[in-house]
């Protein structure tokens, strides 16, 4: 399913990821998280049953690498956002919101009832986005995120958030 949007970006274009996107997705993930996924790990996730991976590009630049992506896994009437990441240079442009909106619409079409995700309790921007989309805190995982290897970040809890679709 292809979506077109208008906002801070010229004309974002969302489509399913293709195998050629994997190196860029791995790079975006590595720049976004302390433990990034390799191309091999990401490729295996994309090939998993029930997995949806959406990428956002600028319209008219379909041959350009993705600016952000969302990976979601569906099982029956439930789904989970496995990860969502945006290139650092393209953050604060509405990319994550567009990806979340597109994923939610796709999941509604598939008659999913509940969408879950885990977010670091210190990631206030992401928590604000999820709450603005209607997510609520359904639980907490103590010490879920390990401290960074450079000692800059302490261990933190994951908030389990849920959206009833």
Q: What is the pLDDT of residue 10?
A: 59
Tens-digit pLDDT profile for residues 101-115: 999 999 999 999 999
Nearest Cα to Cα of residue 29 among 79, 70, 62: 70
Answer whether residue 133 shows pLDDT above 50: yes
Query: What confidence category does residue 66 fall into, taking pLDDT thresholds of 50, 70 and 90?
Result: very high
Domain ranges of the chain: 3-164
Burial of 62 (0-12, 13-18, 19+ CB in 10 A): exposed
pTM: 0.86
Tens-digit pLDDT profile for residues 7-33: 466 567 899 999 899 999 999 999 998
Domain 3-164 fold is Aminopeptidase (3.40.630)
More reliable by pLDDT, 150 or 88: 88
């Amino acid at each position: 399913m292809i979506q077109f949007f208008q906002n801070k970006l010229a004309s974002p274009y969302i489509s399913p990821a293709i195998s050629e996107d994997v190196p860029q997705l791995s790079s975006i993930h590595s720049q976004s998280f302390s433990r990034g996924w390799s191309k091999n790990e990401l490729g295996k996730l994309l090939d998993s049953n029930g997995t949806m991976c959406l990428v956002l590009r600028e319209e008219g630049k379909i041959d350009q690498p993705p600016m952000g992506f969302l990976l979601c896994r569906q099982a029956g009437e439930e789904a989970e956002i496995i990860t969502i990441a945006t290139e650092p240079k393209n953050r604060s442009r509405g990319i994550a919101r567009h990806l979340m909106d597109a994923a939610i619409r796709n999941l509604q079409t598939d008659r999913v009832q509940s969408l879950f995700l885990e977010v670091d309790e210190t990631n206030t921007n992401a928590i604000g986005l999820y709450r603005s989309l209607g997510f609520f805190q359904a639980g907490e995982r103590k010490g879920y995120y390990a401290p960074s290897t450079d000692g800059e970040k302490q261990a933190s809890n994951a908030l389990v958030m849920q959206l009833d679709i």
